[in-house]
Structure 1
Amino acid sequence: MTEVVLKVEDLAASYRKNTALYDVNLEVEAGSLTGIVGPNGAGKSTLLKTVLNLHPALTGKVEYFGKSFKKAKKRIGYVPQRGSVDWDFPTDALDVVTMGLYGQIGWLKRPSKSHREKAAEALEKMGMTAYAKRQISELSGGQQQRVFLARALVQDADLYFMDEPLAGVDAATERAIMNILKELKSSGKTVMVVHHDLQTVEDYFDHVLLLDRKVISHGLTEEVFTKQNIGKTYGGNMRWMGDES
């Protein structure tokens, strides 16, 4: 039986007085690569932040590997939206990736040579070795995203959450990121990705979560990513991708 790495029951969240999520129930199995898809304002980023204790839940229960977030957090990696990061902070790419190891290093201790070697390996995996000493403010959007993904990789988590890692990147970076995500899945890791491009869902993800403040459907992409479910998710006013224009 496949392990359930994330279980969410009756989750609800709001911003000010506006309901962002309600009645969210789902189970995510180990070794899956899931695209989280829905219209603007559907609560996709809020879902990630709420299950990660970065935004308060109104109701609900979240378990990781059968445990609380506090007990499981060392097994969890997170890549927020690039736009939420202060890229003017004076630090270089290698230091940003090394920060992903602070859970192992300890905040008041200096990284060892082996820690820096791990960070350098993660940068190399993302094709960013030549930019290790480059200030992050000098990097392009795609390069910044590669650095941030390397920061998550170096944590060697079992479950990764990624908030639109493909937004605003060039085609080469998109391919590089998806190759890494598929490698993570192949090695038994579980990855959940907020994604906005419906055209690539079937190529990129083996599972899909259709969300519009509540779960519309969740499961294998070939079963869930249907014209009917997409219509429910986007209000029924969206032309199906395969239709003639």
Structure 2
Amino acid sequence: MTNRNRNVPPLAVSGLTVAYRKKPVLRDVTFEIDERQLVGIIGPNGAGKSTLIKAILGLQPALSGEALIYGKPYKVNRKLVGYVPQRESVDWDFPTSALDVVMMGRYGHLGLFRRPGARERELAMDCLDKVGMADFAHRQISQLSGGQQQRVFLARALAQDATLYFMDEPFAGVDAATEKAIVTLLNELKRNGKTVLVVHHDLATVADYFDSVLLLNGEVIACGPTETTFTPERLQQAYGGKLAFVARSEREPAGAAGNGR
């Protein structure tokens, strides 16, 4: 793919500092991610996890530092990047079908003056099929359940045919079937040589889902293989006094708090 350099990491962040209304949210964030990794971005509420992704993608201005995609800024290598935003940030009342949403993932490959054709439609249908949504291709996006909407956005990310993916809380508020579909998709992406960073809250599933973790709380607490990084000591550093409450919450039965996590 264009501008991909296999000799440099998919993502390298150096000295990234971001503030909202002069209040620092991220301070001197520095880390690198290796290829073909499923990476969980873990930390308490307000730790700056979503802000980190937005800053990397140029959606949130940074005070200092840089983020490089295969050694180049995002605006140069944006075709290598797929993004699944938080479901709450999307206008689900926009009048469009699930198929149209997925086909939007092809626009970056088509350029300004080409319209999606039969090939793009076929590819979009294939992506919907992979997330179990082919039968809903012509359904208005507003008529889908929360889990179904999330699957459609995952299909759109697949249609982008990216190399590096960012997913902001894809497991939030989904049912068990959708969670299983997401995990299957993540592992398929990895098998296909992709690198995926996922903002995630369920501490109980981190060791099962991710090869590596980035522990974040305004700054990088630790970044590395899950086995050696996702430890009680590091979690205590990241969550502080909130850790006991979080641990209890994650051990609740799935039905205790509805469909969400």
Q: 2-side partners of 1:19 and 1:87: how far apart?
A: 31
Q: 2-side partners of 1:75 and 1:214: how far apart?
A: 26
- Alpha-carbon shift at residue 71 of structure 1 (Å): 1.6
- Residue 168 (str. 1) matches residue 173 (str. 2): yes
What does 1:209-220 correspond to in 2, within 5 Å?
209-220=214-225
| Equivalent residue number for residue 182 of structure 1 | 187
Q: TM-score, normalised on structure 1?
A: 0.96
Q: 1-side partners of 2:215 and 2:161: how far apart?
A: 27
Cα–Cα, structure 1 residues 236 and 229, in superposed 2: closer, same or farther, change >3 Å? farther
User: What are the Cα deviations for residues 163-201 of structure 1, in whole angstroms up to 9, with x where unaligned?
Assistant: 000000001100100110011111110000000100000
User: 78, 91, 100: which is aligned to 1:73?
Assistant: 78
Q: Secondary structure at the match of 2:45?
A: coil
User: Percentage identity across aligned positions?
Assistant: 58
- Residue 117 (str. 1) matches residue 122 (str. 2): yes
| Equivalent residue number for residue 16 of structure 1 | 21
User: What are the Cα deviations for residues 64-94 of structure 1, in whole angstroms up to 9, with x where unaligned?
Assistant: 1111212211000100000000000000000
| Equivalent residue number for residue 91 of structure 2 | 86
Q: 1-side partners of 2:119 and 2:26: how far apart?
A: 42
Aligned residue pairs: how many? 244
- Residue type of the alignment partner of 1:202: A
Q: Secondary structure at the match of 2:240?
A: coil
Q: Contact 2:102/2:124 (CA < 8 Å) preserved in 1?
A: yes
- Relative to structure 2, which stretch is displaced further, 2-11 or 76-85? 2-11
| Equivalent residue number for residue 230 of structure 1 | 235
Q: Contact 1:32/1:185 (CA < 8 Å) preserved in 2?
A: yes
| Equivalent residue number for residue 255 of structure 2 | none
Q: Which runs of 4+ in 1 moved over 4 A?
A: none
Q: Contact 2:84/2:166 (CA < 8 Å) preserved in 1?
A: yes
| Equivalent residue number for residue 192 of structure 1 | 197
| Equivalent residue number for residue 147 of structure 1 | 152
Q: 2-side partners of 1:106 and 1:94: how far apart?
A: 19
Q: 1-side partners of 2:46 and 2:121: how far apart?
A: 39
- Relative to structure 2, which stretch is displaced further, 199-208 or 107-116? 107-116
- Residue type of the alignment partner of 1:212: N
- Alpha-carbon shift at residue 241 of structure 1 (Å): 4.4
Give the gaps of 5 or more residues in structure 2.
Answer: 1-5, 253-261
Give the gaps of 5 or more residues in structure 1.
Answer: none
- Alpha-carbon shift at residue 231 of structure 1 (Å): 0.3
Q: 2-side partners of 1:186 and 1:120: how far apart?
A: 21
Q: 1-side partners of 2:242 and 2:107: how far apart?
A: 47
- Alpha-carbon shift at residue 236 of structure 1 (Å): 4.0
Q: 1-side partners of 2:65 and 2:127: how far apart?
A: 36
Q: TM-score, normalised on structure 2?
A: 0.90
Q: Contact 1:3/1:30 (CA < 8 Å) preserved in 2?
A: no
- Alpha-carbon shift at residue 110 of structure 1 (Å): 2.2
- Residue type of the alignment partner of 1:181: L
Q: Could you say what the CA RMSD is over the residues aligned between the two structures, in angstroms?
A: 1.7
- Residue 37 (str. 1) matches residue 42 (str. 2): yes
Q: 1-side partners of 2:133 and 2:91: how far apart?
A: 20
Q: Secondary structure at the match of 1:4?
A: coil
